[in-house]
Structure 1
Amino acid sequence: MSDNNPHIAVIGSGGSAMAAALKATERGARVTLIERGTIGGTCVNIGCVPSKIMIRAAHIAHLRRESPYDEGLSAQEPAVNRPALLAQQQARVEELRESKYQSILSDNAAITVLKGEARFVDERTLTVALNNGGEQTVHFDRAFIGTGARPAEPPVPGLAETPYLTSTSALELAHIPERLIVIGASVVALELAQAFARLGSQVTVLARSRVLSQEDPAVGEAVEAAFRREGIEVLKQTQASEITHDGRLFTLQTNAGTLQAEQLLVASGRTPNTETLNLEAIGVETASGAVLVDDSLRTTVPSIYAAGDCTDQPQFVYVAAAGGSRAAINMTGGDVSLDLSAMPEVIFTDPQVATVGLSEADAEARGYTIDSRTLTLDNVPRALVNFDTGGFIKIVAERDSGRLLGVQSVAGEAGELIQTAVMALRADMTVNDIADELFPYLTMVEGLKLCAQTFTKDVKQLSCCAG
């Protein structure tokens, strides 16, 4: 073997695994890809793609029912045909799985696909229990773990004996329940809670502490306010102590009282899919099941790499794919690292949440002396003409230099504006640099410039497109 043409075993077929396999073959490697389930992993099959389709459909339903223009445009309660929406959703999932995963694997002669469950024998050998029977041994020069994660089951008495929904089964639900309780108040829980509410469910969200507890408190408060405006009940500091199901209704005993609903969605975290890999026996270290990797995506065993949701990295498919690609470079003789210092995060609620870099609390914890400004959307022309001014843009900067440290936004198009902040952060721009840049008028991203201008002036005293 030379470093440039090794045999690499890739376990998994999702975002990180596919990126690793394809990059490795580009660099001359021969790949054996092992998948025990459906090709494509979480994102295309049961995560990003179907959830965003459902969220978009729910958004359209919401606008038909209610919009800022109802004084001049007729509104009506939409008839929701959930089976038809589900069929449309799944057809697009199958289309993307075929075009972006299965056909690519079939067309790449350097990749051999094995359907089965992999288990490490040692740091150069795997056994694969084949789905169609039998076992196959795979000897490799390098291995990549990209097995992803699955919804976690919290240890609530009685929960395991009930037919509760996970994010996976909720996206496949063929009807919209009259009442839905959601346990969890982070990304997946909030996205699906709002989608179901907009499609017709009466929704109650149980937050163990507060909404989006890992974000700046203002972010969670803004999302909570938006939910309440739409009739979504949010119970903070609330936990279930017992859950039962009588064949018709779920009953939850909580510190806020007894709650009942037709369906219960549990979306309170994810568990890495690593327990069957025999990692401990070969010296690959984990923490709560998550594979520990360094900046080069190497595990504690030099010949084995990992990326994605099965590791201790942030659980975003673009992080997984970037990690898989960089791991492949390193497995084939390269030397690159994964820099997450300017990693954007987007939550597809309405309004959207988007962040990059450090919050005030993060920056202060790292020893920065900071200055920050928050611009409410009633100061952003695009939001004003949209008649949709709920939300804000916040910039955190180093006080003395003005260097950008982070941006948090809650806005209708926050996910679109945040990449500009990413590039500014990468370029070490200051708030003055951003304030002096040209931004197109009547775009939401112009709010980033306006927020930067508030460090030195009152933007309420500017004309509409004053530079």
Structure 2
Amino acid sequence: MENRKIEVDITGMTCKHCAVSIESLLKNKEGITVASVNHESGKGEITFNGQMTTDEDIISTINSTKKYQARGTSSVLNAPAEPTFYDLILIGGGSSAFSAAITAHELGLSILMVNAGLPFGGTCVNVGCVPSKILIRAGETAYHASHSNFDGINPYGASIDFAKVIREKTEMVSRLQQKKYMDIVKDFDNFRMVEGWAEFLDTKTIVVNGETKYSALKFIIATGATTNIPNIEGLQEVGYLTNVSLFELEEKPESITIMGAGYIGLEIAMAYSRLGVKVRIIEFTDRVLRSQAPDISQELQKQMQGEGIAVLPNVRAQKFEKKDSSILIHCKDPDGKEITLVEPGHLVIATGTRPNTSKLGLDKIGLETTKNGHIVVNAMMETNVSGIYAVGDVINTPAYVYTAATEGKMAVENAFKGAGSKADYSSLPWVVFTDPQVAGVGLDEVEAAALGLPFEVSKMPLTEVPRSQAAKDTRGFIKLIRDTQTDKLIGARVVAPEGGELIMELTLAVKYGITVNELAKTFHPYLTLSEGIKLAAIAFGKDIATLSCCAS
């Protein structure tokens, strides 16, 4: 094969999405094996089979877009072929894969990262944590410009340029994707990134896009997860959005109906409602955030309904159909009666996720998965096939970016150093970024009861916390769960404005076996929200109402 490489200057690019679009365009062209485009430098490098295409044809392909214009700056004949054998092949390009790549680089390994679907960086930076939190903060800014807790302050509201908010989000995502992912690995020796779908041929070999074969000593599968689309009649025909496509809409929707009231659905609902979109949530179970205790669900549902978000629990969609420009949602209400909801805007699916395993050819190598498609691993991230590990959302561990990154590092160290490290999520903190936020660590009272543990609960409403009183914002509570035999904190739940900022103190208490008595005796600054933790600890033995300020 006659390998050639051409370097080009490209004008017209404004963001990472432009570069990705050009790369995708070129990679669909026969003969091109590698296409790498950087929107910041305005340069591209394309490796291709000179017998199948030419420099001029490649430049013409880019120029045919009208939006982008390219000119060649150099061309190399007999460019060296890329290696096909590596110490480690990473299948996936999200946070766990990048964490694994960084660790593998530190060990001096040769690495191939094969990624498809979302751009490199994966869910968190491109379509998950980062964009959603940007939009949540934008929504909070608009909300607080229109709402005051103080009678003496009358806010005048906010003028919302929805398209500009979305563009700001897109630009920030692009910057972070470049800075925290692409730039981190750009100078790694013996490291290559390839876009395409990987499929196992045997336990040592994959084929990418059905064409190029690669082999390795070890593999780490980090293909993540995607929205689980329910099999409901008419859904495909009427069209729907997920968080991926919703976050790209620059024209503000008139309204949205969200299917699903888990944390993704609730965060979307609150952000978009505050940005001026009429929002309705349909949930087939009895309450929002069904994974948590009922008092948390009640607190969130009360807040959302108070902001005008329609919440319909125990409603199950049966069929979708299009009528004019609206979507008809045929449902059964809590009494089993058939009802029809009309959505003039968009339908958003937020009914959980499913692991991306269907295209990997796992059946060819006998790799074990669960009935839901998750790859089965042990605590060291090992699959049942020697030399193959799996990490992140593709396995059935807590699905957070920080757990995925830890698993990626752990898998490399176990695979190549024999470290024997094991995952322990008994003191894992988590946050749902609604308003009020929901945060937790360890066990709640339902889980403790299921395990048969001797426990006691202290629940401190924020109406009793001086900081919340001063802010005139007493939404929520702090709930501590202690082992009555040892007095150690075994779990906590916080529902509060910025409640996520409290969870690390409670995480350290659970992790290191700090007793409730020690929490109660520890100094907490007066008029901070964290003082509520101290008060909740004291409340195990005393009536807070009988104490003066700062008393213990």
In the aligned structure 1, how far is the partner of 2:196 from the partner of 2:331? 42
Q: Aligned residue for 1:300?
A: 384
In the aligned structure 1, how far is the partner of 2:414 from the partner of 2:153? 57
In the aligned structure 1, how far is the partner of 2:203 from the partner of 2:468? 56
In the aligned structure 2, how far is the partner of 1:419 from the partner of 1:245? 48
Q: What amino acid is aligned across from residue 181 of structure 1 in structure 2?
A: T
Q: Aligned residue for 2:303?
A: 226
- Which digits, 9 at most, give the CA deviation of each residue in 1:342-379, with x for residues without a partner? 11121000000001111111111111011111100011
Q: Aligned residue for 1:12?
A: 92
Q: Aligned residue for 1:291?
A: 375
1:456 offset after TM fit, Å?
1.0
In the aligned structure 2, how far is the partner of 1:110 from the partner of 1:339? 32
In the aligned structure 2, how far is the partner of 1:107 from the partner of 1:462? 61
In the aligned structure 2, how far is the partner of 1:381 from the partner of 1:171? 38
Q: Is the 8 A contact 2:381 2:407 kept in 1?
A: yes
Q: Aligned residue for 2:22?
A: none
Which secondary structure does the structure 2 equivalent of 1:214 belong to?
Answer: coil
Does 2:126 match 1:24? no
Which secondary structure does the structure 1 equivalent of 2:541 belong to?
Answer: coil
Aligned counterparts, 1:337-356, within 5 A: 337-356=422-441
1:72 offset after TM fit, Å?
2.7
- Which digits, 9 at most, give the CA deviation of each residue in 1:431-452, with x for residues without a partner? 1111111222222122111111
Does 2:227 match 1:144? no
Does 2:236 match 1:160? yes
- Which digits, 9 at most, give the CA deviation of each residue in 1:15-37, with x for residues without a partner? 11111111122123221111124
Q: What amino acid is aligned across from residue 187 of structure 2 in structure 1?
A: D
Does 2:262 match 1:186? yes
1:76 offset after TM fit, Å?
2.4
Q: What amino acid is aligned across from residue 283 of structure 1 in structure 2?
A: G
Q: Is the 8 A contact 2:148 2:154 kept in 1?
A: no
Q: Aligned residue for 1:41?
A: 122
Does 2:283 match 1:207? yes
In the aligned structure 2, how far is the partner of 1:268 from the partner of 1:239? 12
1:338 offset after TM fit, Å?
1.1
Q: Is the 8 A contact 1:128 1:136 kept in 2?
A: yes
Q: Aligned residue for 1:450?
A: 535
Q: Of the candidates 241, 246, 269, which is equivalent to residue 323 of structure 2?
A: 246
In the aligned structure 1, how far is the partner of 2:498 from the partner of 2:551? 22
In the aligned structure 1, how far is the partner of 2:438 from the partner of 2:425? 19
Q: Aligned residue for 2:21?
A: none
Q: CA RMSD in A?
A: 1.3
1:93 offset after TM fit, Å?
0.4
Aligned counterparts, 1:13-162, within 5 A: 13-37=93-117, 38-69=119-150, 71-129=151-209, 135-162=211-238
Aligned counterparts, 1:344-423, within 5 A: 344-423=429-508
1:317 offset after TM fit, Å?
0.9
Which secondary structure does the structure 2 equivalent of 1:141 belong to?
Answer: strand
Q: Aligned residue for 1:3?
A: none
Q: Of the candidates 234, 247, 270, which is equivalent to residue 171 of structure 1?
A: 247
- Which digits, 9 at most, give the CA deviation of each residue in 1:227-277, with x for residues without a partner? 111111111111111111235111111123221121111101111111111
Name whichever of 213-222 and 21-30 sits farther off.
21-30
Which secondary structure does the structure 2 equivalent of 1:406 belong to?
Answer: strand
Name whichever of 218-227 and 175-184 sits farther off.
175-184
Unaligned runs of 5+ in 2: 1-85, 334-338
Q: What amino acid is aligned across from residue 176 of structure 2 in structure 1?
A: L
Does 2:523 match 1:427? no
Alignment length (residue pairs)? 457
Q: Is the 8 A contact 2:163 2:252 kept in 1?
A: no
- Which digits, 9 at most, give the CA deviation of each residue in 1:158-177, with x for residues without a partner? 11112211111111122222
Q: Is the 8 A contact 1:413 1:444 kept in 2?
A: no
Q: Is the 8 A contact 1:166 1:265 kept in 2?
A: yes
Which secondary structure does the structure 2 equivalent of 1:51 belong to?
Answer: helix
- Which digits, 9 at most, give the CA deviation of each residue in 1:254-309, with x for residues without a partner? 12322112111110111111111111221211111111111101111121111111
Which secondary structure does the structure 2 equivalent of 1:195 belong to?
Answer: helix
Between the two proteins, what is the percent identity of the paired residues?
A: 37
**Which portions of structure 1, spanning 4 or more consecutive aligned residues, are displaced by more than 4 angstroms?**
none
Unaligned runs of 5+ in 1: 1-5
Q: Is the 8 A contact 1:398 1:404 kept in 2?
A: yes
Which secondary structure does the structure 2 equivalent of 1:196 belong to?
Answer: helix
Q: What amino acid is aligned across from residue 366 of structure 2 in structure 1?
A: G
Q: Of the candidates 402, 408, 412, which is equivalent to residue 318 of structure 1?
A: 402
In the aligned structure 2, how far is the partner of 1:67 from the partner of 1:109? 55
Q: What amino acid is aligned across from residue 41 of structure 1 in structure 2?
A: G
Q: Is the 8 A contact 1:346 1:354 kept in 2?
A: yes
In the aligned structure 2, how far is the partner of 1:67 from the partner of 1:278? 56
Name whichever of 153-162 and 246-255 sits farther off.
246-255
In the aligned structure 2, how far is the partner of 1:29 from the partner of 1:385? 56
In the aligned structure 1, how far is the partner of 2:93 from the partner of 2:134? 22
1:399 offset after TM fit, Å?
1.6
Q: Is the 8 A contact 2:167 2:250 kept in 1?
A: no
Q: Under a length normalisation based on structure 1, what TM-score does the superposition of the two structures give?
A: 0.95
Q: Under a length normalisation based on structure 2, what TM-score does the superposition of the two structures give?
A: 0.81
- Which digits, 9 at most, give the CA deviation of each residue in 1:121-163, with x for residues without a partner? 111111112xxxx722211111001111111111111111122
Q: Aligned residue for 1:279?
A: 362
Which secondary structure does the structure 1 equivalent of 2:394 belong to?
Answer: coil
Q: Is the 8 A contact 1:29 1:332 kept in 2?
A: no
Q: What amino acid is aligned across from residue 254 of structure 2 in structure 1?
A: E
Q: What amino acid is aligned across from residue 270 of structure 1 in structure 2?
A: T
Q: What amino acid is aligned across from residue 114 of structure 1 in structure 2?
A: V
Which secondary structure does the structure 1 equivalent of 2:392 belong to?
Answer: coil
In the aligned structure 2, how far is the partner of 1:171 from the partner of 1:9? 31
Which secondary structure does the structure 2 equivalent of 1:341 belong to?
Answer: coil
